[in-house]
Amino acid sequence: MKLIRAKDYNDMSRKAANVVSATVILRPNCVLGLATGSTPVGMYKQLIAWYEKGDLDFKAVKSINLDEYVGLDAYNDQGYRYFMNENLFNHVNIDKSNTSVPNGMAADVEQECRRYDKHIADLGGVDLQVLGIGNNGHIGFNEPDEAFEQQTHLVDLAQKTIDANSRFFASIDDVPKQAITMGIKSIMQAKAIILLASGEGKADIMETALFGPITPKVPASILQLHPNLTVVADEAALQVVAQKHPELF
């Protein structure tokens, strides 16, 4: 694991954008695994700024998103397809037909999950997977569980996740209770992973996930086994790591 400590959210966003940029420059037709949530928004803004300057070209880039709420369509402003269009795709020259987000409106969710896994395989897997982390250790929407779910699957969201994500909705009752998420296997098969975290709210879970036991009760803990994991996090998110593992800094 490479640990990159950023000063604050802006610094984390810039450093993360540098890692993504390097991938796009070195492999113009790369497959990017993309994440939603508030954490990567600044990174996307930075990528847009570099695209506008002429430093980045997304023409041949393909993308696969981690997850989508069940029951929200592409036009719902709380859905993740909408999020990606607003925060990145509408502002760069990526071909939208090269971008994928699970279909939260699929009549047959199981079939949609199998389609998504096949699509990832057909693309040859993910070159760089961007991840945030939920405050219960979820990645994508892989919630704490008794076993690691490997494939894309339907998930019942944990109450903690519903509570945390309710800040984006008019009321907590509007937060969908289910989502479709890429499984742990697809995430772990990415050639490289970059995990982002910002703010003291993530400080405990970052230490638990990166240095605690590897267990499906903390889904992000599996990342300890990935051969090419880069963590980009700000000082606030790394404060417990810094206290317990001062030798790393």
The residues assigned a catalytic role are 67, 136, 138, 143
Site for ligand GLP in 62-101 (CB under 6 A): 66-67
* Residue 9 touching ligand GLP (CB under 6 A): no
* Residue 140 touching ligand GLP (CB under 6 A): yes
User: Shortest distance, CB of residue 181 to ligand GLP, whole angstroms?
Assistant: 7
Decide whether 57 or 189 has the Cβ nearer to ligand GLP: 189
User: Shortest distance, CB of residue 59 to ligand GLP, whole angstroms?
Assistant: 26
Decide whether 60 or 74 has the Cβ nearer to ligand GLP: 74
Decide whether 38 or 228 has the Cβ nearer to ligand GLP: 38
Give one word for 140, left, alpha or beta, with left for phi > 0 and alpha for psi -120 to 50: left
Q: Of residues 13, 152, 161, 221, which one binds ligand GLP by CB under 6 A?
A: 161
Q: CB nearest ligand GLP: which residue?
A: 132
111 by Cβ neighbours in 10 Å (0-12 / 13-18 / 19+) ranks as: exposed
* Residue 37 touching ligand GLP (CB under 6 A): yes
Number of Cβ atoms within 10 Å of the Cβ of 201: 12
* Residue 183 touching ligand GLP (CB under 6 A): no
Q: Of residues 16, 31, 35, 205, which one binds ligand GLP by CB under 6 A?
A: 35
Beta bridge partners of 4: 232
Decide whether 134 or 183 has the Cβ nearer to ligand GLP: 134
* Residue 176 touching ligand GLP (CB under 6 A): no
Decide whether 140 or 183 has the Cβ nearer to ligand GLP: 140
Contacts with ligand GLP by CB under 6 A: the residue count is 14
Q: Which amino acid is at 166?
A: S
* Residue 112 touching ligand GLP (CB under 6 A): no
Binding site for ligand GLP (CB under 6 A): 35-39, 66-67, 132-134, 140-141, 161, 165
